[in-house]
Copies of this chain bind each other. A is one copy, B any other.
Amino acid sequence: MNSFRPDQLSADLQALVEYRKLESGQALFYKGDLAQATFWLETGQLKLLHYTSDGQAVNHYRIRAGESFAEVALFINFYDCTAIAEAPSRVALLPKQPILAALRERPDLAEEVMKQLAWRLHQAKILLELRSIRSARNRVLHYLKLSSDQRSVQLEQPMRIIAEDLALTPEALSRALTQLEEEGVIARQRRMVQFL
């Protein structure tokens, strides 16, 4: 998760790293921008998303402090999604060409990057799987199972955020949860959900 942690890079590479501060809501790059760097998030939180032609935002995934992201940028010319800060953030900009050169020299770094890319692809498939479930009930159920360690889930985020992740309206999510409860599939108390 930290392939490009700058302090693990060689000194001459570190010298090329720039930092950028972002306000909450500010964009780091937009879909279609020329991809000139890959990144590592020092502090804060970002989300990667795109917009449909009618302006709806579609979330890909969130980046938390300590993670590198947009490794894909090393191998394509334009960013394929938009990155927006969800909290005040500080990001390390890792310029493309020097990093590519370093990858040729350092198999350990290359392996980290491969792991990271594989992980993201895996996650993307899981997301695709989730999103391709049509019914709200089953989509929510699948989501709960994904995020449950053993038999119960603590819903940390507000319902409207969870609804966003599920590509549902808050109303649809609410209805799906009550339905699952009525069916006796889950039980709820406050933000705690458990399977029966």
What is A's interface to B at a CB cutoff of 8 Å?
A: 50, 52-54, 58, 60, 71-72, 74-76, 80-81, 103-105, 107, 110-111, 113-115, 117-122, 124-129, 131-133, 138, 142, 167
Contacts and interface: CB of A to CB of B under 8 A. Distances in A.
A119 B133 CA distance: 25
A114 B60 CA distance: 20
Nearest to A53: B138
Nearest to A110: B110
Contacts of A122: 72, 76, 80
Main SS of the interface on chain A?
helix
Contacts of A125: 50, 60, 80-81, 124
Contacts of A117: 114, 117-118, 121
A111 B103 contact: yes
Contacts of A110: 103, 107, 110-111, 114
A128 B60 contact: yes
